[in-house]
Chain A
Amino acid sequence: MESIVRNDLHPAFSMRGITKMFGTVLANDSVDFEVLPGEIHALLGENGSGKSTLMNVLSGIYRPDDGQIEVYGELKEFRSPGDAIDSGIGMIHQHYKLAEAMTATENIVAGMKKPPKNSGKKDDVLRTDILRYASRSPAKTQQKIIEFSSRFGIEFDPSIPAGQLSVSQKQSVEIIKVLLRGASILILDEPTAVLTPQEAKKLFSVLRKMAAQGCAIVFISHKLNEIMALCDRVTVLRKGQSIETCTVSEIDAYDLVEKMVGRKINLSINKPDPDPERRVCLDVKGLTYSDSKSVPKLDNLSFTTYYGEILGVAGLAGGGQKELCESIAGIIRPQQGDILVDNERIAGLSPRDITQKGVAMCFIPEDRLGMGLVASMGIEENILLKEYALTKGPLIRMKDATTKAEQIINELEIKTPGLKHPVRMLSGGNIQKVILGREIHLNPKLMIAAYAVRGLDIHSSYTIYNLLNEQKQKNVSVLYIGEDLDVLIDLCDRIMVLCQGKNMGIVDASSTTKEEIGQMMSGTTLEELKRGVSYV
């Protein structure tokens, strides 16, 4: 296999003094960042520390206000992503950039440029072939793409629409897309966020292969254990500034957190014991739901939750978590099955009636503002949204909401310039605290927290974990739907694993492993695991 290294004397790229402002917000403040050919380099930082901004500058999406970029020792100025691609830079975005209605092949080929003639490189011959066949013979193009992918141990079917691929296959398409454009510098923005542990392992072996061939790889992640396992060096960003670059083998995770946050923080979740009485709160029986396009989302799902415990729900994105929440909250009507709270049927009631039965939900969608809050309203008015229905008469009572808003702001340490300040102007962590605070104040019996820490940095996440644990101690039954398996294991008492809307089994958090949950997430039931059967 030929080497992709262009010049070993220079770093693959070096960014110096990169500054980028968004309005009045300084996202990157004179950042320096350098990666060598053949190394896997982690970029670590809290939310809003400027990691994605920096990498978007490198891939030509943002234009920096100040600073220089050198690629293999040559000074570059990128006016568009196309310019960055021409310099050998490829970025795999956190939210994949694929046209879902078009095939993987079409997504890969569109925008590819003809390589120079007779360059003598083996890959260029392949690229020319792919482009030549692209408009004439899809079958031949697909075969060439499969051939190219297999070199890196990547597998997917290039003939089906991108929208029908699994998340990890979509990621593979993105990787092949940038590699076929000749990328020797690869940026991956939180690539493992939506993968099972098994898929993540596979990705790591692909990345190691590419690094061995001389690629420079930037790996953006929140997950310290992944960085420790995969990367050679790590650069820490804090509040838009580059703090330090260190060799991974010379430091430990606690040092990294300290550098990232700026002070020492305690990284253990203080888990109180669950209520030993095990009184049933929520009882879900045989829930089955297919969406308007007849795609099954929930498949004969049954489980119970107890007062004073946190039941975790693990599963791949789109495994039915959203539909489960919406069924319990009364937003959608499952075709079959029953939902009981305290032995009382709530299936079929309106969302408002369900709230009055003591069910509270905090669902954080991917865009974080889509559900639960009105972005342009202040905290006060957002609290009124749930409150007004409980007061008598046609008039609203602002005073109660104001008192409550002040209380929530104090208790949860929400940082806001004022009660009427539009919530969309708050930071992600503060927005999520507003939703959670409002739901907690309804004194629910059952609290559903779905993706409550989505996109939050370590510090804010721990605040939310503590809030949930407080609810558990108040004997509330908590249903926690999460993405990070380490957190699920640390926070929850029991964990239910969903796969395509089916209950794969409920494991005890104190005795399970990430690998076990991972296998269940990809379709092996707990019983099968116990019998030693595995499809992974």
Chain B
Amino acid sequence: MIGDFFSSIGSLLSIVFSASFIASGVAFSVVMLLGTVGELITERAGHLNLGVEGMMLLGASMGYYTAVRSSNLFLALLFACIGAGFGALLYAILTVTLRVNQNVAGLALSIFGAGLANALGSKVANTTTPDNIAKVFTWKPLSLTSPSGPFLSYINKAFLSHDIYVYLAVLLAIATTVFLFKTRAGLELRLTGENTAAADASGIKVTRIKYLYIILGGMLCGIGGLYLPLVQQGSWTNNMTAGQGWLVVALVIFVRWHPVKAIAGAYVFGSLTILGFSVQLNEKLSSIPIFNQYIMSMFPYLLTIIVLIAFSSRKKAWPGPKEIGRPYFREER
């Protein structure tokens, strides 16, 4: 019995630390990393946008549709931004200008975005990513041609054999951290999300800031979403984000509104999501009930709850941007 237990732990570890599993985890986390950075800057402006799933799908469908019709990668990226940015703009008009409840507006955007995206996506459902674009992503910019020794070849396979999208996403997360904590514009964004009235009284143009970062955040979600049909699957499937947008909302809390931590956080969530599939393929493990893929798909949420509990009981922990969920009206008495 105990022997069985250790041997199943052993097989689990051998899966988790295998180079191929890490590689797929990294690839799988790109969508969520970009989405998390996007949602994170939105929340730093004091707005919780629950429409991530909708914006990801809008970006994915608009971008993929453009890619198929034009075979132009830059146009595809541009239209992914326009599609998701449009969704975010609607959300901004509702919550910033009209001061509608943020949760309701976000949920509406989630449903509206998915509907619109599926309608557009089905028009290109039976096509694949144009060859010239697909070729861009077969390029592995960091891959070593002849890694010497087992360690280097392990690293090479796990971390260095990815397409340009992956590395740009990581760079973006680092750049956003520098922006948030080392620039004046980042400081103004943080102050707006912490105390909008204070920011306003300090001469910061808060409405402009909120619109800017809500829309930018939406665009990043869209670019994240585009990775799915354009690179990962190479074709369109309706509702293909399959809940990753919701995982992003949890991830932002999990990484405590910190973009660099989002790199690791997205990897943890990404690999937990695919762990279910990998475990199914292992005979020894698939017979153990807890390693059912449906049960395993809830692990990321379980983890988020644990983090939430850990921080809510900590005495002086920062509870996140204070203005989240609170509409701002300058002339309020």
Of the stretches B34-42, B192-200, B210-218, the one at the interface is B192-200
In the complex, the answer to whether B200 meets A102 with C-beta atoms within 8 Å is: no
Q: Is the CB of A80 within 8 A of B195?
A: no
Q: Which residues of B contact A110 (CB under 8 A)?
A: 184, 187-188, 190-191, 199, 202, 204
- Residues of A77-111 whose CB lies within 8 A of B: 80-82, 85-86, 91, 93, 97-102, 106-107, 109-111
Given A62-B331, A106-B187, A110-B184, A97 contacting B194 (CB threshold 8 A) = no
Q: A111-B204, A181-B203 are in contact. Are A293 and B187 (CB under 8 A)?
A: no
Asked if B135 is at the interface of the complex by the 8 Å CB criterion, the answer is no
Most chain A CB within 10 A, of B183, B197, B200, B201, is at B201
Kindly state the separation between the CA atoms of A99 and B196 in the bound complex, as whole angstroms: 9
Q: Which residues of chain A come closer than 8 Å to B187, judged between CB atoms? A: 106, 109-110, 134-135
- Given contacts A99-B194, A99-B322, A106-B187, whether A111 and B330 have CB atoms under 8 Å apart is no
Tell me which residues across on chain A come within 8 A of B200, comparing CB atoms: 61, 80-81
Contact across chains for B201 and A81 when beta carbons are under 8 A apart: yes
Q: Give chain A interface residues in 119-164, CB to chain B under 8 Å.
A: 131, 134-136
Q: Give min CB distance, B322 to chain A, whole Å.
A: 7
Residue of B nearest to A105 (CB): B187
Q: Mark A483-516, 1 if CB is under 8 A from B, else 0.
A: 0000000000000000000000000000000000
| Min CB–CB distance B175 → chain A (angstroms) | 14
The answer for the CA separation of A253 and B183 in the assembled complex, in Å, is 52
Contacts of B17 in A (CB 8 A): none
Tell yes or no: A294 within 8 A of B by CB: yes
Determine the residue in chain A with the shortest Cβ distance to B187. Answer: A110
Give chain A nearest CB distance to B246 CB in angstroms: 27
Known: A82-B203, A107-B198, A111-B199. A135 touches B318 (CB 8 A): no
User: Separation in Å of the B225 CB from the closest CB of chain A?
Assistant: 32
Identify the closest chain A residue to B200 (Cβ). Answer: A81
Q: B191 touching A131 by the CB < 8 A rule?
A: no
Say if the beta carbon of A113 comes within 8 Å of chain B.
Answer: yes
Alpha-carbon separation in the docked complex, A61 to B206 (Å): 13
- Specify which of A80, A93, A134 lies most central, judged by the most chain B CB atoms within 10 Å of its CB: A80
In the docked arrangement, what's the CA distance between A467 and B139, Å?
A: 84
Interface string of A395-408 (1 = CB under 8 A from B): 00000000000000
- In the complex formed, the residue of B with least CB distance to A102 is B194
Tell me the bound Cα distance from A22 to B329 in angstroms: 14
In the complex, whether A177 has a CB less than 8 A from a CB of chain B is: yes
Contact indicator B205/A135 (Cβ below 8 Å): no
B322-A82 in contact (CB<8A): no
Q: How many residues of A contact B (CB 8 A)?
A: 33
A395 CB → nearest B CB, Å: 37
Distance (whole angstroms) from the CB of B324 to the closest CB of chain A: 13
A134 to B187 CA separation, bound complex (whole angstroms): 10
Bin chain B's interface residue count: 20 to 34
The interface residues of chain A lying within 8 Å CB-to-CB of B190 are 99, 102, 106, 110
* Cβ-defined contact, A135 with B333, below 8 A: no
Q: Is the CB of A80 within 8 A of B205?
A: yes
> Known contacts A22-B333, A109-B187: does B322 contact A98 (CB below 8 Å)?
no
Known: A101-B322, A102-B190. A135 touches B198 (CB 8 A): no
A165 to chain B, nearest CB (A): 14
Q: How far is the CA of A511 from the CA of B66 in the complex (A)?
A: 85
Q: Within 8 Å CB of A101, what residues of B?
A: 194, 318, 322
The closest CB in chain B to the CB of A294 belongs to B315
Set A98, A99, A109: member contacting B184, Cβ < 8 A: A109
Is the beta-carbon distance between B205 and A106 smaller than 8 angstroms?
A: no
Can you name the residue of chain B whose Cβ is closest to the Cβ of A293? B315
A131 touches B198 (CB 8 A): no
Residues of A within 8 A of B191 (CB): 99, 102, 106-107, 110-111
- Find B195's partner among A22, A97, A113, A134 (CB 8 Å cutoff): A97
Chain B residues whose CB sits within 8 angstroms of the CB of A99 once the complex forms: 190-191, 194-195, 198-199, 322
A97 in contact with B201 (CB, 8 Å): yes
Interfacial residues of chain B within 302-333, with CB under 8 A of chain A in the complex: 315-316, 318, 322, 330-331, 333
Within 8 A of A (CB), among B1-39: none
Cross-chain contact B184 with A135 (CB below 8 angstroms): yes
Q: Are A135 and B183 in contact (CB under 8 A)?
A: yes
Which of A100, A111, A131, A293 makes the CB contact (< 8 A) with B188? A111
Residues of B contacting A61 in the complex (Cβ-Cβ under 8 angstroms): 200-201, 330-331
Q: Pick the contact of B203 from A22, A63, A81, A100 — CB < 8 Å?
A: A81
Distance between Cα atoms of A160 and B273 in the complex (Å): 41
Give CA–CA (A363, B322) in the complex, Å: 27
CB < 8 Å neighbour of A135 from B182, B201, B204, B330: B182
Known: A99-B191, A102-B194, A106-B187. A177 touches B202 (CB 8 A): yes
C-alpha gap A459/B187 in the complex (Å)? 46
Q: Is the CB of B184 within 8 A of A131?
A: yes
Query: Contacts of A135 on B, CB cut-off 8 Å?
Result: 182-184, 187
B201–A93 touching, CB < 8 Å? yes
Chain A 43-72 per-residue mask, 1 if CB under 8 angstroms from chain B, else 0:
000000000000000010111000000000
A111 touching B203, Cβ below 8 Å: yes
Nearest-CB distance from A83 to chain B (Å)? 9
Q: Closest Cβ of chain A: how far from B232's Cβ, in Å?
A: 37
Q: Hey, which chain B residues are within 8 Å of A106, CB to CB?
A: 187, 190-191
Chain B residues within CB distance 8 Å of chain A: 182-184, 187-188, 190-191, 194-195, 197-205, 315-316, 318, 322, 330-331, 333
**Additional A-B contacts beyond A81-B201, A97-B197 (9; CB < 8 A):** A80-B203, A81-B202, A85-B202, A93-B201, A110-B188, A110-B202, A111-B204, A113-B203, A131-B184
User: What 7 pairs between A and B have smallest CB-CB spacing?
Assistant: A111-B202, A99-B194, A97-B198, A82-B203, A111-B204, A99-B195, A110-B191
Listed A/B pairs (24) with beta-carbon separation below 8 Å: A61-B200, A80-B203, A80-B205, A81-B202, A82-B203, A82-B204, A85-B203, A97-B195, A97-B197, A99-B190, A99-B191, A99-B322, A101-B194, A107-B191, A107-B202, A109-B187, A110-B191, A111-B188, A111-B204, A113-B203, A135-B182, A181-B202, A181-B203, A294-B315
- Name A's B-contacting residues (CB within 8 A): 22, 59, 61-63, 80-82, 85-86, 91, 93, 97-102, 106-107, 109-113, 131, 134-136, 177, 181, 293-294
